[in-house]
Amino acid sequence: MEYIRERLKHGKLHMTLIDPEKQSPARAAEIASFAERSGSAAIMVGGSTGVDMENTEATLRAMKKVVNIPLICFPSSAASLTSSFDAVFFLSMMNSTAPEHITGEQAAGALLVKKLGIEPIGMGYIIVEPGMRVGEVGRADPVRRNDIARAVGYSLAAEYFGMHLVYLEAGSGAPFHVPEEMIRSVKREISIPLIVGGGIRTAEAARRVAESGADIIVTGTIAEEDSSLRSLAEIVASITGRSHYTH
């Protein structure tokens, strides 16, 4: 968390989300290395569905050989945890209707986090319409796109709970990102860093999300869909102001 805070002193950040199930460990390492060279601040590793720990470990080993930025667990459950991670986003899905996604899996994994020596970073995770697969799996009651007050309420509650980050999530592969008005309203009321992800596929969209108040922008699907990774580089550049990396 100290690394994130220090990096934020110099401007907005981009993080690349990699799902080990979506590509081979070698390809994941290639994406991670390109993301780091492009200016991504960290690699988030995780997915919404079942975790294959053998593949996850292989993916982490491959990435550790080629990147120096943190590898952060973006967990779907306590089963996602391994000592190969540098940190874990210890998140609570604030608007889930299922207790296991609010505190249950967190309680199940807390002692393991301590034993493995992984840094836990408390996060209020808020699913915004449409929510996509993560909303379904987490049995979320998504915040409607025009319900600014509810988004602000959950976000401020996360800060008051003592969490370090707020994450507004439209869902991987969402047709549109979190509304800019919602981002602005949440950022105006909270004093902890705001992460926004889901539905961000272009540099222009990333720029608008950043200008609306997001401190950290997360993209994942675009790296899976664009084999050249050029779109990823352009997105990072639009957020950080750094010229994008080219092969």
Q: What is the pLDDT of residues 140-174, one digit of tens each?
A: 999 999 999 999 999 999 999 999 999 999 999 99
The ranges assigned to domains in the chain are 2-239
- 93 close to 136: Cβ distance less than 8 angstroms: no
Helix (H) or strand (E) holding 14: strand 13-18
Task: Name the least confident of 4-18, 70-84, 223-237.
Answer: 223-237
Confidence of residue 228 (pLDDT cuts 50, 70, 90): confident
pLDDT band for 66, please (50, 70, 90 cuts): very high
What one-character DSSP code corresponds to residue 11? S
* Short-list 35, 91, 18, 79, CA closest to 54: 79
pLDDT > 80? residue 244: no
Counting residues of the chain whose pLDDT is more than 70, the rounded percentage is 96
Q: Please give the pLDDT value at position 80.
A: 87
- The confidence score (pLDDT) of residue 246 equals 47
pLDDT for the residue numbered 49: 66
Residue 91: name the closest of 120, 56, 51, 130 by CA.
120
| The token pair that represents 228 in the structure block | 């050249």
Q: Residue 48 has what pLDDT?
A: 64
Give the pLDDT confidence of 120-130 residue by residue, as tens digits. 999 999 999 99
- Asked if residue 12 lies in contact with residue 217, where contact means CB atoms within 8 angstroms, the answer is yes
Angle (deg, nearest 10), helices 230-240 and 25-38: 30
pLDDT at 243: 57
Paired tokens of 105: 């899996």
What are the residues whose beta carbons fall under 8 Å from the beta carbon of 17, sequence distance 6 or more? 43, 44, 45, 46, 74, 172, 197, 218, 219, 220
| Cβ pair 142, 126 in contact under 8 A | no
Alpha carbons 187 and 51: distance in angstroms, whole number: 33
Residues in the chain: 247
The CATH class given to the 2-239 domain equals: alpha beta
pLDDT in tens, 28-58: 999 999 999 999 999 999 986 666 888 899 9
